[in-house]
Amino acid sequence: MKLTTYIEAITQALDEEMARDESVFLIGEDIGVYGGVFKATKGLLDKYGQMRVIDSPISEVFIAGGSVGAALVGMRPVPEIQFADFITPAMDQIIQQASKIRYRTGGEWSSPITVRVCCGGDIGGGLYHSQINEAWFVNTPGLVVILPSTAYDAKGLLKSAIRSDDPVIFFEHKRLYRSIKEELPEEEYTVPIGKAAIRKEGKDITLISYGYMMHHCLKAAETLSEEGIDAEAIDLRTLLPYDKETILESVKKTSRAVIVQESPKTGGVAGEISAFITENIFEYLDAPITRVCGLDVPPVPFAPPMEHYFLPNPDKIADAVREVIAY
C-alpha cells in the first residue's frame, strides 16, 4: 500500500493503461513537455514519446474531434480538457458524434474515448476556471459520466473508463487533486462503472452526493452524529448511468433524503435523483426530498467570501438535514 494523492492516482492510471494497451494515447494542451497544467501527465512524454503523449494546439474542437476520429479506427484516445469551462467548443464532437455513433451505425462502430475534464470551484479561480458542468452531459444518452471523490476511485474508475467501449466524460475535481491522500494497492485494480459506494452507513437520513461535495457530506454527518442524527452517505461515483438500486435501498431504510451538488440547482443531477426517488418509492418518504446546491447565478464568483456563499458547505448540508428530520 502506498500513500497517494488524487492527482498521483490519475497519473498512475494513465501510465498503467498506456503500458497495457498500445492503442491508448493522450492528447491535450500542455500535457507533454510541461506535464499538464496540474501535472497529471508528468513524466509520460519521456516514457511513451510524442506520438502517444501529444501536445495539441489550443483548440478543444480539434482535441475532441481528432480523438473521435482516432477512436473510429481502433485507437483509445484519452483527451484532456484543461478546464471544464472551456469544453463548449468540443460539444458538437462529443454530443453529436461520440455519443451517437454506436446507435447511428447499428452497433457496427463505437467511440471508446475517455475525455478527462478538470472541474470545480473553491480554488479562487473565478467564473472561467471554476465551473462544474456535469449536467450538460448527464442529459445525453450514449455517454458515460464519472466524477470520483477519492484517489482510489479516481484510479480505478479511470482505468475502467479507458477500457470501456463507450465514450466517457471523466470529471476530476481540481480541489481534490492534492488535498486528499489515501493508501492505494500496489497491485492492479479497477472500480466498476455504474456502482455507487456507501461511505457511511446510517438509519435516519440518506445523503447523496459525488466529487468534492461528498467530503462536505461526510463532515456534516460527523457533526450530526454528535446531535444523535445517524446519516447514511452515498457516493454516486458514476452519474450516468447512476446506481438506482443503492439509492432506493438506502432511502427505503431511512425514509428521508438530502441530495448535494456543487453546480446550480436548476436542471441538475440532484433534481433528476429527487424525481427518481419520488416516482418510485414515494410511499416510503417521511419528509420532502431536499437539495443543497450551488446558486442559480452565473458561476463562480472570484472573491472568496462570495465563492463560499455560492457553494454548498458542511454547515448548509447539516442545516438542511435538521430541517428534514424536524419535518
Q: Is the dihedral of CA 247, 248, 253, 255 positive or negative?
A: positive
Residues 6 or more apart whose Cβ sits within 8 Å of residue 84 = 117, 118, 119, 120, 131, 132, 133, 171
Q: Which class for 319: exposed (0-12), middle (13-18), buried (19 or more C-beta within 10 A)?
A: middle
| Per-residue cell: 104 | 447511428
Q: Are strands 2-5 and 181-184 parallel, antiparallel or unpaired?
A: antiparallel
Nearest-angstrom CA–CA distance, 305 and 312? 13
Which of 9, 301, 1 lies closest to 180, judged by CA?
9
The C-alpha angle with vertex 133 and arms to 122 and 274, in degrees rounded to 5, equals: 100
Name residues whose C-beta falls within 8 Å of residue 279's C-beta, 6 or more positions apart in sequence.
none
Q: What is the DSSP secondary-structure string of 175-202? A: GGTTT-EEEE-SS-----TT--EEEE--
- Is residue 173 among the annotated active site residues? no
Residue 300: asked if its preceding bond is cis (omega within 30°), the reply is: yes
For 49, which DSSP code? -
Distances (CA, A) of 91 to 63, 133, 210: 11, 12, 23
Residues 222 and 288: beta-carbon distance below 8 Å? no
Amino acid identity at 100:
K
> What is the dihedral sign for C-alpha 229, 232, 235, 238?
negative
Out of 129, 173, 215, 216, pick the active-site residue.
129
Strands 290-294 and 257-264: parallel
Q: Which residues are catalytic?
A: 129
